[in-house]
Structure 1
Amino acid sequence: MNRKRCSAYWYLKISLNRGTWRFRRAPVNAEITTDSSHYFNAAITYCWRHIKCAQLLEKMGPSLIPGAMIGVSVAYLIIDFINAEHLQLIIGVICIVFSLKNLLLKQITLKALNNKAGALIMSIFSGLTSSLVHAGGPPIIIYFSAIGLAPAKFIATASAFFFIMNIFKLIGVTALGMLTGEIILTAMAFIPLAFVGNWIGVKINTSLNKQLFLTIMNYLLLLLGCWLVMTK
């Protein structure tokens, strides 16, 4: 599969910090640029208000960010050798299994992920799948759900994580000559929607307790998994 085919795949991304779904068919470059502005806005307007910078950096620094960079780097090295449909199917099945486990078998916990190694593995997976099939959200949702992050920390850390990872992805696609003026203009058109979505997400988040928030995340993850399987 070449880069052009990879960049044209349909995708659905759960937008954690705005409580909405986005359906669109767009080049990977537009996705990166739009998401970068989206997560930048989230990080500035929400994250830093609710979590001390030191705490967030302590959570992300040792494992999450290095893992994402490794995943993105590996993705660009193997992009011509990966069958995106097969990878999408695998991600979809994982989403379905994990969400059903959380919804039906809550007594079973994934303690193996609650450490630096778990964070590193899931962030590598996120960087890899985000670059190849625009599905970097599920691994991070699974990891944050497994360690039981509170809603504010969940959203704040996810927003900052994807913002930083997308900067790294943007450097990669620019180096590959995949970023064009048309794509930049298309991405800029989505910025107002990102601001509105962030505002709505913040308002919704303040009304949810931790248990309800995680339950909603698992139902969304289940729907995402089904969508990935059916549209591979």
Structure 2
Amino acid sequence: MFLDNPYSFYVVAAVAVLITGISKSGFSGGMGALTVPLMALFIAPFKAAAIMLPILCCMDILSIFAYRKSFHRKNLIILVVGALSGIGIGALTFRYVNADNVRILLGMVTLLFGLSFFVGNKERDVAKKVSTPMGVGCGVVAGFTSFIAHAGGPPVKFFLLRQNLDKTLFVGTNVAFFLIVNQVKIIPYAWMGQFSSENLLLSLIFVPIVPFGIWLGLRLHNVISPELFYKISYFMMIVAGAKLLYDGMI
């Protein structure tokens, strides 16, 4: 029964959901990559991903109202085309990977993406042209990692940050992308039986946090520096990734 989970799970998961909501609406998301690893410290990774998907869909719906006129159409199309393939790859390989392998894979992805923030910032000052092949490739990776662990944010940011888009346009493109991706993911998740009554009940427990997180993120969008927020959040990703690697290898 879902109440058998330790109290620490609910505390950690609630904080992670709040951070994800703030990040999604205020700073272009990406912290979905943090939520699943933190939950996976207590429960199976796929279970954590299934619990988070309805929550993320609620966040997407609330966020899109603020950015419905602020997204880069060409970038969105390029990324979504790749993401659909990535989601398909994730769905087809899902049953061939055990929980420990997922922890190792998720730990590696989370750790590398966390470290990338502190290593690769110097390219941001020079705007790059839109590269369709790179965009599709980033979309494939984003779709796959998003399907496994809702960790699609870093590949999308890698592609978009190179273009030095306006901050609001940048966030809006992220919001629109994940609105589409998360809705598409519902189909294979349901097909794989991930929406059990237990998982849906756990999702419902955390849904009330969503509006507050989205509202707070929108308020902070024009107030706080994204750099400070991401330094803290990506550091947490590094810690969570290292812990998952350890758990998967022992």
Using structure 1 for the length normalisation, give the TM-score: 0.75
2:53 aligned with 1:32, yes or no? Answer: yes
1:114 shift after superposition:
4.6
1:218 shift after superposition:
5.3
Q: Which among 173, 176, 185 is matched to residue 160 of structure 1?
A: 176
Structure 1 CA distance for aligned equivalents of residues 125 and 102 of structure 2: 30
Contact map agreement 2:129 2:163 (CA 8 A) in 1: yes
1:202 shift after superposition:
0.5
2:189 is matched with: 173
Structure 2 CA distance for aligned equivalents of residues 143 and 206 of structure 1: 23
Q: Residue 39 of structure 2 aligns to a residue in which SS?
A: strand
Equivalences for residues 73-112 of structure 1 within 5 A: 73-82=88-97, 83-103=101-121, 106=122
Structure 2 CA distance for aligned equivalents of residues 85 and 153 of structure 1: 34
Per-residue CA deviation, residues 120-155 of structure 1 (Å, 9 max, x unaligned), is 111211111122234222222333333333321222
Q: 1:129 to 1:158 in 2, by over 3 A?
A: same
1:47 is matched with: 67
Q: Which among 220, 223, 231 is matched to residue 207 of structure 1?
A: 223
Give percent identity, aligned residues only: 17
Using structure 2 for the length normalisation, give the TM-score: 0.71
Structure 1 CA distance for aligned equivalents of residues 113 and 140 of structure 2: 16
1:224 is matched with: 237
Contact map agreement 1:138 1:221 (CA 8 A) in 2: no
Contact map agreement 1:111 1:146 (CA 8 A) in 2: yes
Q: For structure 2, which runs of at least 5 residues remain unmatched after alignment?
A: 1-11, 246-250
2:139 aligned with 1:123, yes or no? Answer: yes
Per-residue CA deviation, residues 59-82 of structure 1 (Å, 9 max, x unaligned), is 301x11121111111011112334
Equivalent AA in structure 2 for residue 79 of structure 1: F
Equivalent AA in structure 2 for residue 98 of structure 1: S
Contact map agreement 2:141 2:152 (CA 8 A) in 1: yes
1:6 is matched with: none
Structure 1 CA distance for aligned equivalents of residues 53 and 126 of structure 2: 31
Indicate the RMSD between aligned Cα atoms, in angstroms. Answer: 3.1
Q: Residue 155 of structure 1 aligns to a residue in which SS?
A: helix
Equivalent AA in structure 2 for residue 162 of structure 1: F
Structure with the larger helix share = 2
Equivalences for residues 60-79 of structure 1 within 5 A: 60-61=76-77, 63-79=78-94
Q: For structure 1, which runs of at least 5 residues remain unmatched after alignment?
A: 1-9
Structure with the larger strand share = 1
Per-residue CA deviation, residues 199-228 of structure 1 (Å, 9 max, x unaligned), is 1001101124xxx43564355334413421
